[in-house]
């Protein structure tokens, strides 16, 4: 260090100082201004990118909220549709049961009527057959009874006893 202080020359110092000033001026005019402009542009680009990222973040939050709201509405609509479908199904089933019961009751009533009609027809037919048989038996009995003249007179006298004159 002492060697530098002992060898100090004002002329060299003066030229070095002028060269330094010229280098600083040239650098300021051609290098520092473009470097500073580039740094400012980069800083502006970064701040714009951060602002865009913040906007995108806010937009994503908004879209997420919208999606959640749409999903909630879709679920509510689905639940409402399912409830409506269940109610419609229950109504259709109830109507079908009621219709089946009504139709069944009609069929049972028709069957009862048909059975009653068949019963009455059968009874009428039995009565007809019984009366035909009774008449046939009575005819045969009376034919047997009336073959004998004495029995005929006895029957007539018995019948006359039962008849009361007014």
Q: How far is CA 157 from CA 75, 105, 117, 165, in A?
A: 105, 61, 45, 14
Q: Which two tokens stand for residue 3?
A: 């060697």
Query: Are the C-beta atoms of residues 150 and 156 closer than 8 Å to each other?
Result: no
What is the distance between the alpha carbons of residues 23 and 17, in angstroms, rounded to a whole number? 10
pLDDT band at residue 4 using 50, 70 and 90 as cut-offs: low
Tokens of residue 5, six digits? 């202080």
Q: Using the predicted structure, report yes or no on whether residue 166 has a pLDDT greater than 50.
A: no
For 103-158, the pLDDT digits (tens) are 989 999 999 999 999 999 888 888 888 778 777 777 777 777 667 777 777 777 77
In the numeric block, the tokens 């749409």 are attached to 70
pLDDT greater than 90 at residue 75: yes
Cα–Cα distance measured from residue 71 to residue 77, given in angstroms and rounded to the nearest whole number: 10
Higher per-residue pLDDT: 21 or 136:
21
DSSP state string for 90-107: HHHHHHHHHHHHHHHHHH
Cα–Cα distance, 48 to 54 (Å, whole number): 10
Domain ranges of the chain: 18-162
Q: What is the pLDDT of residue 143?
A: 73
Tokens, residue 42: 């980069």
SS3 content of the chain, % helix, strand, coil (to 5): 95, 0, 5
**155 CB neighbour count, 10 Å cutoff:** 13
pTM of the predicted structure, to 2 decimals: 0.41
């Amino acid at each position: 260090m002492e060697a530098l202080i002992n060898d100090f020359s004002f002329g060299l110092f003066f030229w070095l100082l002028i060269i330094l000033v010229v280098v600083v001026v040239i650098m300021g005019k051609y290098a520092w201004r473009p470097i500073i402009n580039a740094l400012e542009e980069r800083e502006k680009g970064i701040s714009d990118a951060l602002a865009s990222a913040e906007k995108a973040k806010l937009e994503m939050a908004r879209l997420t909220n919208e999606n959640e709201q749409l999903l909630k509405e879709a679920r509510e609509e689905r639940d409402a549709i399912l409830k409506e479908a269940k109610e419609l199904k229950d109504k259709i089933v109830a109507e079908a049961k009621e219709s089946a019961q009504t139709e069944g009751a009609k069929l049972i009533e028709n069957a009862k009527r048909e059975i009653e009609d068949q019963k009455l027809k059968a009874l009428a037919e039995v009565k007809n057959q019984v009366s035909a048989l009774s008449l046939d038996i009575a005819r045969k009995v009376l034919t047997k009874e009336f073959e004998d003249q004495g029995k005929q007179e006895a029957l007539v006298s018995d019948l006359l006893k039962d008849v009361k004159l007014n």
